[in-house]
Amino acid sequence: MNMDFPLILVVLTAASGLLWLADGLLLAPRRQRALAQLQSDFPLREEAGSPHQQEYRRRRRQAGNEPLVVEYAKSLFPVFLLVLLLRSFLVEPFQIPSRSMVPTLDTGDYILVNKYTYGLRLPVLRTRVLAINSPQRGDVMVFFPPHKNDTYFIKRVIGLPGDTVRYTGKKLFVNEIEYTQQLLAQLPPSRPRYQINREQVSGIEHQVRTDLLRPGRDFTVTVKPGHYFMMGDNRDDSQDSRYWGQVRERDIVGKAFAVWMHWDEFFSLPSFQHVRWIK
């Protein structure tokens, strides 16, 4: 079961903020009244050597101390709020969990996702409150797929609403315009299994990988209004719109724009040698 981190963050922010507010409205005035009463009960509290002085100080500490939970709430609320605003409306980090975007992205890549380029959305509810831009063909986009609506996926935008997408003989056509490919390499060179091509999608050049030993899955589909057709760059090893359908506009998360770290596994060292922009 995947943790819904945005929901957890919203709950923590709301809970800490409400505790701080409740303390300010209810508990803090009680503490002030208790301190005022102590001052009245110990009129000699300021006289050196007065028997009232030590007892007054002890009771003042007891009456004036904030509950521990309130202290934590006041300390953590600004942190939770800042993280919530950054992740919801500016930039959010993600880890690539699979090889479906090879050779563009590999397992263990840590990427940054622009959360505002496609419009501002409310966390958890996903409602867009401010429209800015729309996804374009060739964008690398993070979203919630229709079959796993609580899991982040990342693929490349191939079809926009109203487009006709056709895939024949491992060649891609959108509205009957072929996305041209240029052979870059065959791997391994001795007995080729994979082919790396440079593909151009609406002026955006990127690399794709095909499996020479796996037959292509030909199809033709028209993209529904308010939906997007997504495909992985690892064309023969990607679960994408060919299998689970088109992505709704409301399930868009943001546009991936940079790789900032690579970390293969927990017991290995992170690497910053492949920091780059995503194309």
Threshold 0.75, pTM exceeds: yes
75 catalytic residue (yes or no): no
Catalytic residue from among 100, 115, 238, 241: 100
pLDDT of residue 4: 77
Orientation of helix 51-64 relative to helix 28-41, angle to 10°? 170
Catalytic residue from among 16, 88, 115, 155: 155
pLDDT of residue 2: 59
In terms of Cα–Cα distance, which of 138, 117, 110, 115 is closest to 275? 110
pLDDT of residue 1: 42
Average pLDDT, 10 consecutive residues per value, the chain (279 residues): 78 95 90 82 71 74 82 94 93 94 96 96 90 95 93 96 96 94 93 94 90 92 98 96 96 97 89 94
Task: Provide the token pair at 61.
Answer: 């500490």
155 catalytic residue (yes or no): yes
pLDDT of residue 49: 67
Q: In the chain, how many H helices and how many E strands?
A: 5, 17
Task: Provide the token pair at 183.
Answer: 């052979």
Are 258 and 111 in contact by the 8 Å Cβ rule? The answer is: yes
For residue 223, the 8-state DSSP code is P
